[in-house]
Amino acid sequence: MKIINLEDIKGSDQEVDAGNWTSRRLLMKDDNMGYSVNDTIIRAGTETHIWYQNHLEAVYCIEGEAEVETLKDNKTYRITPGTLYALDEHDEHLLRGIKDARMVCVFNPPLSGREVHDENGVYPADLD
């Protein structure tokens, strides 16, 4: 069994700050669960281009407000506490923070923990 406390992640190398967001990597590839789990803060007033070509992601909002615009069809979805969105088709999208939003993000395949988006909004397939 693994017990992981968010407070132990804050300020460690498992906390990644990319400006528009801060992601606390709770479970990673090395935990051998087959997926990874992040507790992520999306900052209000920001817009992030994301296109996970190498990962599938499910995102559950627990605080704040954001919106997701899918670029394939230019549809915009309001994300509020209790809303989950799943990028099940490697959806290229824009993520906008309306109010600081806290999201729980699950990735398959799992992240190694060091990823940040490249110029196309992509996480690399594997950093190891």
Question: pLDDT, tens digit, for every residue of 88-123?
Answer: 999 999 999 999 999 999 999 898 866 665 565 556
Instruction: Say if residue 37's pLDDT is above 60.
Output: yes
* Cα 69 from chain centre: 15
Residues 9-28, mean pLDDT to the nearest whole number? 93
Provide the residue ranges of all domains of the chain, joining segments of one domain with +: 21-108
pLDDT value of residue 89: 93
**How confident is the prediction for the chain on average, in pLDDT?**
90
Q: State residue 112's pLDDT score.
A: 81
In this prediction, residue 125 carries a pLDDT of: 64
Q: Looking at the domain 21-108, which fold is it?
A: Jelly Rolls (2.60.120)
- By DSSP bridging, strand 21-27 and strand 15-17 are antiparallel
Percent of the chain scored above 90 by pLDDT? Answer: 78
pLDDT digits (tens, 9 = 90+) for 46-71: 999 999 888 899 999 999 999 999 99
pTM: 0.88
Confidence check: pLDDT of 124 > 90 = no
For residue 123 the two structure tokens come to: 């996480």
User: Which positions ≥6 away from 66 have C-beta within 8 Å?
Assistant: 42, 79, 95, 96, 97, 98, 99, 101, 103
pLDDT recorded at residue 120: 59
CA distance 67 to 77: 5
